[in-house]
């Protein structure tokens, strides 16, 4: 028999499901689309949206619903209080200066990664990646986080993500991704070539604190600037930076 708290917890979970839908879109969504993506009834979704709007976590525009300004305040509170980003910033600055490439810090959120810090290098990327951007775990720097997932979550990620095609045109099956992540775990780093963005190379490594994976650090640059001859040096720099951050974390 459910405990008295069970209905309240289910309502909370549904609210986070709706908020997650709003966070994951780049354009306003109609009520029916929010309900479909959250797998909820339209009436339930409407009640949740009304509460989120009242609290500032959602907003209604002419063309649909979007995340609200309160989400920015929550993100700011995380950034100013998060020990990892504070410790990592000087290391990212040094890494960007040493390699000339953009240095980034990601943390895992369920089966995705979120950018929480970035320092541009001498060779800026041709695209912008804002703080708070949510990106996949099975591509690029995400693999430095995915490779250490517990077995159950790892299998779920592989089942949900595959099959897919990288931006390079390479088709990836579940077996391919599993083997790729095993290699990342064995090597202690991930090297990504045109996986999410064409002609972009990324080198990433996990920030390991004992058995815990605190996040992943990555450098990203144009493949023309990061030739194969550079890979060994860059891998060493990124792994050293990841270890430096881990050593400074409580």
pLDDT for 1 equals 47
50 inside domain: yes
- Cα–Cα distance measured from residue 248 to residue 62, given in angstroms and rounded to the nearest whole number: 48
Give residue-wise pLDDT tens across range 60-116: 999 999 999 998 899 889 988 999 999 999 999 999 999 999 999 999 999 999 999
Number of domains, the chain = 2
- Distant-in-sequence, close-in-space partners of 79: CB < 8 Å, separation ≥ 6: 85, 116, 131
User: Helical H runs in 39-146?
Assistant: 42-55, 70-81, 83-99, 143-146
**What is the spatial distance between Cα 209 and Cα 48, in angstroms, rounded to a whole number?**
38
Structure tokens at 51: 């509460």
Residue 32 belongs to what domain range?
Answer: 5-72
Residue ranges, the chain, pLDDT below 50? 1, 4
Last residue of a domain, one of 72, 93, 122: 72
Helix (H) or strand (E) holding 110: none
Whether residues 32 and 138 share a domain: the answer is no
Cβ-based burial of 185 (10 A; exposed 0-12, middle 13-18, buried ≥19):
middle
pLDDT tens profile 33-49: 999 999 999 999 999 99
């Amino acid at each position: 028999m459910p405990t008295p708290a069970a209905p309240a917890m289910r309502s909370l979970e549904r609210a986070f499901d709706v908020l997650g839908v709003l966070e994951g879109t780049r354009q306003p969504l109609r009520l029916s689309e929010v309900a479909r993506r959250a797998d909820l009834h339209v009436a339930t979704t409407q009640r949740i949206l009304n509460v989120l709007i009242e609290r500032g976590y959602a907003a209604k525009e002419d063309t649909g619903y979007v995340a609200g300004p309160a989400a920015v305040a929550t993100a700011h509170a995380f950034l100013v209080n998060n020990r990892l980003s504070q410790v990592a910033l000087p290391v990212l600055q040094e890494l960007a200066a040493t390699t000339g490439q953009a240095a980034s810090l990601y943390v895992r959120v369920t089966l995705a990664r979120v950018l929480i810090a970035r320092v541009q290098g001498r060779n800026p990327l041709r695209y912008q990646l804002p703080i708070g951007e949510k990106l996949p775990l099975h591509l690029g720097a995400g693999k430095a986080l995915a490779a250490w997932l517990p077995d159950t979550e790892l299998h779920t990620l592989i089942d949900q993500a595959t099959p897919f095609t990288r931006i390079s045109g390479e088709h990836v099956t579940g077996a391919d991704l599993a083997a790729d992540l095993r290699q990342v775990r064995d090597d202690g780093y991930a090297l990504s070539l045109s996986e999410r963005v064409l002609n972009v190379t990324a080198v990433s490594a996990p920030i390991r604190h004992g058995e815990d994976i605190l996040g992943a650090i990555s450098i990203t640059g144009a493949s023309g600037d990061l030739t194969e001859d550079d890979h060994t040096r860059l891998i060493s720099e990124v792994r050293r930076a990841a270890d430096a951050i881990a050593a400074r974390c409580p």
